[in-house]
Structure 1
Amino acid sequence: MTTTMIQEKFNHIFDSNLIEEIKKVGNIRTFKKDDIIIDINQPLNHIPLLLEGNIKILREDAEGNELLIYFLEAGETCTMSLTCCMGTTKSKIRAVAEKDSSLVMIPVLNMQKWFNNNESWRNFILESYQTRFDEMLDAIDSIAFMKMDERLYKYLINKTKLHDSKTLHIKHQDISEDLHTSRVVISRLLKQLENEHKIKLSRNKIQVL
């Protein structure tokens, strides 16, 4: 992994001066699937820019149950970590690698400086906030207004888009944790979706038709 990827991924987003600054101050890190990138209550000194891979952003309740909030794709950043950095508070989310991922970590001081003096960075941050806000509203609407089978099918569709594949290698337990329900419920609803000819099930694999 080299700084060339920074150039390739963000050339159409940031101006050339900012890209050179990111190359100088950014710390490139790689994570394996299921690695925790940012944890709840972790002090935040850097914010992540995702170069490749996918990251899922989770919240946790008082009993330790996780709820999926949204996914990050390459070229994006986590606005919930941005908010914590701006307020110098600890992380309120858990960021987990959905698959092997590479990131460039930006020091908080640079993030704040660029917001004030670089238009391309400021526009990127504001657009990121809008995107994440829309996704969180969508997540709230799904929980409040959609039946679990509808939420599950939407979840599977979103997964196929993230992985650019109609075949998902995923366990029922992993889905149940993301959707904050039981594995038994997920297994029953997956079978229902299969009977409706929307998916095809096999061991630890789901094909979305």
Structure 2
Amino acid sequence: MTNPTPGSAIRTIDRAAAPAVNPEKLLNLYPPLSGLSTEQLAALLQAQALMHLPAGTQVFAEHQPCNGFPLLLEGSIKVVKLAASGRELLLYRVTPGGSCIISSSCLLGHSDYNARGIAETPITLVALPAASFTKLMLEHAAFRDFIFHLFAERIGELMQLVEEVAFARLDQRLAKLLLARQQDVLHVTHQQLADELGSVREIVSRLLKGFAAQNLVTLGREQLSIINRPGLQKLAAV
């Protein structure tokens, strides 16, 4: 895990000044840890820091070593792959109680990050040191099963993403993305939508203007409104 400046965010935290972790909240979000004894949990909590990071913070960076495993308590982290052209492709999101499989794969394989994680919102997370992660994987079956189960889920999601990128038209993917927000008024820029689709703003803007011409959406400044959800659903299913 890293911050916007070179180096590790974990190493820059003053552990003595870090606020205490709420064990109950941690266990509610990550039930596999409930199998630990009181002494084991206390030792684990002493070895890690509670981190509060603002939106836009780079939690970890590509080609940098993984120094810990994030247990997310609040907020959302998007994990993206950056092309040489500067275009981004959203791989997945990490939400409270979830797992970052790139962090776990880097820790298990002793390799550097091959993508980057960015805080979409203000986030609160527990930074589980690499040694503690390895110990849990070796000694606690429930935690190990949790990590491997989420591996399987993420791989399924990534396979679906590959299929969509390879075989689905961009207008279909854009329609699906708008519908997935589950809101009629979306406060989002054309650039943000392009980043999620791994496309460029100009193409997404042109598609959105086409949607507006078909009376599927109305466009505003940094927002759009869905006015024909069935029409978008039909387009997404083509």
* CA spacing shift, 1:43–1:79, aligned 2, 3 Å: same
Which residue, 170, 175, 180 being the options, matches 2:193?
175
RMSD: 2.1
Q: For 1:171 and 1:150, how far apart are their aligned partners in 2?
A: 18
Q: For 2:225 and 2:50, how far apart are their aligned partners in 1?
A: 34
Q: Does the 8 Å contact 1:84/1:90 carry over to 2?
A: yes
Q: For 2:74 and 2:184, how far apart are their aligned partners in 1?
A: 20
Q: Does the 8 Å contact 2:66/2:112 carry over to 1?
A: yes
Q: For 2:96 and 2:213, how far apart are their aligned partners in 1?
A: 35
Q: For 1:205 and 1:197, how far apart are their aligned partners in 2?
A: 16
Q: Which residue of 1 aligns with 2:58?
A: 36
Question: How far off its partner does 1:67 sit?
Answer: 1.3
The alignment of Structure 1 onto Structure 2 pairs a total of residues equal to: 204
Q: Which residue of 2 aligns with 1:14?
A: 33
Moved more, 70-79 or 192-201: 192-201
Query: Whose Rg is larger?
Result: 2
Are residues 1:47 and 2:65 paired? Answer: no
* CA spacing shift, 1:167–1:33, aligned 2, 3 Å: farther
Question: How far off its partner does 1:9 sit?
Answer: 2.1
Q: For 2:176 and 2:42, how far apart are their aligned partners in 1?
A: 39
Question: How far off its partner does 1:171 sit?
Answer: 1.1
Question: How far off its partner does 1:64 sit?
Answer: 3.4
Give CA-to-partner distance per residue, 1:115-171, whole Å, 9 cap, x none.
11112211110111011101101110110111101111222233x26xxx5433211
Question: How far off its partner does 1:14 sit?
Answer: 2.8
* CA spacing shift, 1:143–1:115, aligned 2, 3 Å: same
Moved more, 133-142 or 65-74: 65-74
Question: How far off its partner does 1:16 sit?
Answer: 4.6
Q: For 1:205 and 1:187, how far apart are their aligned partners in 2?
A: 12
Moved more, 174-183 or 42-51: 174-183
Identity %: 26
* CA spacing shift, 1:29–1:145, aligned 2, 3 Å: same
Question: How far off its partner does 1:62 sit?
Answer: 3.1
Runs of 4+ displaced beyond 6 Å: none
Q: Which residue of 2 aligns with 1:145?
A: 167
Give CA-to-partner distance per residue, 1:82-136, whole Å, 9 cap, x none.
1111122111111011211111111111111111111221111011101110110
Which residue, 80, 84, 94 being the options, matches 2:106?
84
Aligned pairs (5 A) from 1:52-67: 52-67=74-89
Give CA-to-partner distance per residue, 1:41-66, whole Å, 9 cap, x none.
11111011111111111112233332
* CA spacing shift, 1:156–1:31, aligned 2, 3 Å: farther
Q: For 2:48 and 2:185, how far apart are their aligned partners in 1?
A: 35
Segments of structure 2 that go 5 or more residues without pairing to the other structure are: 1-18, 230-238
Q: Does the 8 Å contact 1:7/1:19 carry over to 2?
A: no
Are residues 1:112 and 2:122 paired? Answer: no
Normalized against structure 1, the TM-score is what?
0.87
* CA spacing shift, 1:168–1:2, aligned 2, 3 Å: farther
Q: Which residue of 2 aligns with 1:189?
A: 207
